Structure 1
Amino acid sequence: MNAEKSELNNALSLQQEQGIKQFLTFIMADEEYGVDILTVQEIRSWEEITELPNSPDFVKGVINLRGTIVPIIDLRLRFGLSSAEYGSLTVVIVVKIEFEQGSKIMGIAVDAVSDVYSIAEQDAKAVPSLSESNSCEYVAGLVNVGEKMIALIDLQKTMNI
């Protein structure tokens, strides 16, 4: 617990002092995506969930997380990617997202967790507009890390159901 607080304090310190954010990255359909590590509450292995009737396809259901009912979103389906079988590498990243109405705890199902990167805000590039309807509305920016490109996710837009 103290190690988690120390890591959180280090992340906050880096953001304030140098404009550097830390991102937890994960894999979906052989591509790497990232979310601000300060939104991540915990990472859980895949478990059975309770399905909700009449919910959108990408809302897989809910889990009970220590007394809190947490909706689980399949990010592959939310992004319009092909669905995949849930397996031993599938994880749920539990995030806390701030909305105008207040904060919400939600889970996102992804293929696998990858790494944590420290990224300077000025290194993130805007997503090029491909058409009049912005099909990349869930991506806040793109950043190169070594030889790979990571799409940084805008969780507020992605999770606003």
Structure 2
Amino acid sequence: MAEIYINNLNQIIGKEEQKAKDTKLNSAIQIIRFFIDDFEFALDIMDVKEIKENETIRHLPNSLPFVKGLLNLRGDIIPVLDLKKRLELENLTLNELANLAKEHDFGKVKEQKDEKNISKKEETGEDENVKPSIIICRVGSDNFGIVVDRIVRVQYLSVDEYEPTPMLFENIGKNFIKGFAKLDKKVIVILSLQNLFF
């Protein structure tokens, strides 16, 4: 069932990527939403190649703290990065970002815990054999994976739902914020992979 779901997501990513190219949607963006622990983030779909599950990650000794290991992707060896550890290095959490966004009127953020947004660990219990989802990304000619706990969905943002990064945030976290998605009475941080890992 999980494999069918991931295959469907990958098909959506491919179709929406082509649609964006064909129609040249410059006024807003397509995003993929995902959870890391209880925090929800998003990526521009143009930064995403595909989604993989149940893949074996080979540990890489003496690497940077946020490097999870290596993945064999159809013969290509790519690094897999731990987004959770990378964001912790920036000393900035989604809650702090949301509070800043709230102060600058990017939409009201209502703190609520939706039963559908329970983390994987809460749903299944602790299980060391459960392998995370890996979003395969590309920045320029570089491919790499990022580990996430749960994929939410792929969706298009209207102009009203997307807020580009204000100047206020340019010096926060090395400018790893690409923008904000204002959805479901909350603010979701859209990450800039270019500035986060390169």
Report the TM-score when normalising by structure 2. 0.65
Pair member with larger Rg: 2
Q: How does 1:9-158 map to 2 (within 5 A)?
A: 9-14=18-23, 16-17=24-25, 19-80=27-88, 88=130, 90-98=132-140, 103-120=141-158, 123-126=162-165, 129=168, 134-135=172-173, 137-158=175-196
Task: For residue 79 of structure 1, give the secondary structure of its aligned residue in structure 2.
Answer: helix
Instruction: Tell me the percent identity.
Output: 30
Aligned residues: 152
User: How far apart in 2 are the matches of 1:155 and 1:129?
Assistant: 19
For structure 1, the residue ranges without an aligned partner over 5 or more in a row are none
For structure 2, the residue ranges without an aligned partner over 5 or more in a row are 1-6, 94-120
Pick closer, same or farther for the CA change 1:92–1:139 going to 2, 3 Å: same
User: How far apart in 1 are the matches of 2:20 and 2:129?
Assistant: 31
Aligned residues of 1:28 and 1:110 also touching (Cα < 8 A): yes
User: How far apart in 2 are the matches of 1:141 and 1:23?
Assistant: 11
Q: Superposition RMSD on alpha carbons, in Å?
A: 3.0
Identify the structure with the greater strand proportion: 1
What whole-Å deviation, never above 9, does each CA across 1:31-83 have from its counterpart, x for those lacking one? 2111111221111114332121221111011011111001000100000089x
What whole-Å deviation, never above 9, does each CA across 1:69-109 have from its counterpart, x for those lacking one? 01000100000089x986647210001111xxxx1010000
User: How far apart in 1 are the matches of 2:164 and 2:195?
Assistant: 18
Aligned residues of 1:24 and 1:35 also touching (Cα < 8 A): yes
Aligned residues of 2:16 and 2:30 also touching (Cα < 8 A): no
